Structure 1
Amino acid sequence: MARWTGEWLSDPRPGAEEPPRWRGERLGLPEEGGGSVARGGARLLALVLDLVAASLLTSLFIRPDLQDTATMQTYNLWSVAVWAVITVIPVSFFGFTLGMAAVGIRVARLDGAQMVGVPRAIVRGALTFVIIPAVIRNADGRSWLDRATGTVVIRTR
């Protein structure tokens, strides 16, 4: 019977499965280069670039005013909505956002399907918004949101 922690904690028993030599080995992914598991820094940079893009797009319609709390609340709500749209739609159909494309990473399904799909992209976006599931990773470099959606973030170059 599996422990409630699943593969997140190593199994101290003798004869337990060997830990992977590199992130993604158990998934059949290469150690380095295109197709290997993306590092956390690249994922974070892509998220920051997407947040900046959402803020800039929102600024085209709502002028931010740091002195006006009501305006900034409206601005922030619209920025989150814009971020959700520029994240969910591209990931659903293409597997990457503008920020992901800039840093050379994309989302891939483990079952080999070409498109991530709208339901998976919505779950990924919602869990990214919560932050904690996106930060905690297992030995394969997959976060909780990757495991929940059957995906992995890989390098494209």
Structure 2
Amino acid sequence: MDNRQAVGSWLSGPRAAMEDAGADLGYRGEQLGLPQEGPNSIARPGRRIGALAVDWGLSVLIAYGLITQGDSPATSNWALLVFFVLSVLTVGTVGFTPGKRIFGIRVVSLETGAVNPLRALLRSVLLCLAVPALVWDRDGRGLHDRLARTVEVRI
């Protein structure tokens, strides 16, 4: 392997490096019994980040409306609380937040398909901690989804 191949595999990420080494990782969601493309396939990171941005923006707007002083630190604390409540209520009832709906994503339970409120609560607490959402498995699920036994799929 020359330097160009080594740099190319590094830039492509660990998944590409593993595949170059001969490991067959399959597609994202294969181990979960999900299709590779189309409805019910794993939601891609771009969609998920877009949905998160919409939900966070909505939460900031609501928090700013609740705080009349416009104090920035207080607004961000309120925004996190609004984001948490929005996530628990919407994911626990209809399976998606406003941002997820706009980007064509829903959250489903691996066992039943529907996310119950307790599972949505656990998922939302871990999501608000941020670190679990930044640790992904080979299927692209965050640690918050793994612990809550949920997955974000395309609608």
Same fold (TM > 0.5) = yes
Q: Which runs of 5+ in 2 are unaligned?
A: 1-13, 16-22
Paired residue for 1:100? 100
Aligned residue for 2:90, secondary structure, equals helix
Cα RMSD of the aligned pairs, angstroms, is 1.9
CA contact (8 A) 1:64 1:75 kept: no
The equivalent residue for 1:141 is: 140
- Following superposition of structure 1 onto structure 2, how do residues 30-109 of structure 1 map, counting pairs within 5 Å? 30-63=35-68, 65=70, 71-109=71-109
Question: More relative contact order in 1 or in 2 (CA 8 Å, sep 6+)?
Answer: 1
**8 Å CA contact 2:55, 2:99 repeated in 1:** yes
Where 2:152 maps in the other structure, the secondary structure is strand
What runs of 5+ residues in structure 1 fail to find an aligned partner? 1-8, 11-17, 66-70
* Equivalent residues, number: 135
Q: Is the 8 A contact 1:20 1:26 kept in 2?
A: no
Which residue type is aligned with residue 148 of structure 2?
Answer: T
Checking the alignment, whether the CA contact within 8 Å between 1:22 and 1:31 is kept in structure 2 is: yes
Q: Hey, what does 1:28 align to over in structure 2? A: 33
Q: Partners of 1:129 and 1:49 in 2: how far apart?
A: 15
The answer to whether the 8 A contact 2:80-2:128 is kept is no
Deviation, structure 1 residue 77: 1.8
The structure in which a higher percent of residues are helix is 2
TM-score, normalised by the number of residues in structure 1: 0.78
TM-score, normalised with respect to structure 2: 0.79
Give the secondary structure class of the aligned counterpart of 1:108.
Answer: strand
**CA deviation string 1:9-64 (max 9, x = no partner):** 99xxxxxxx64321001111111111100111111111111010011112222246
Runs of 4+ in 1 over 3 A off after TM superposition: none
Spell out the pairing of 1:108-147 with structure 2 (5 A cutoff). Answer: 108-114=108-114, 116-147=115-146
Tell me the secondary structure at the aligned position of residue 60 of structure 1: helix
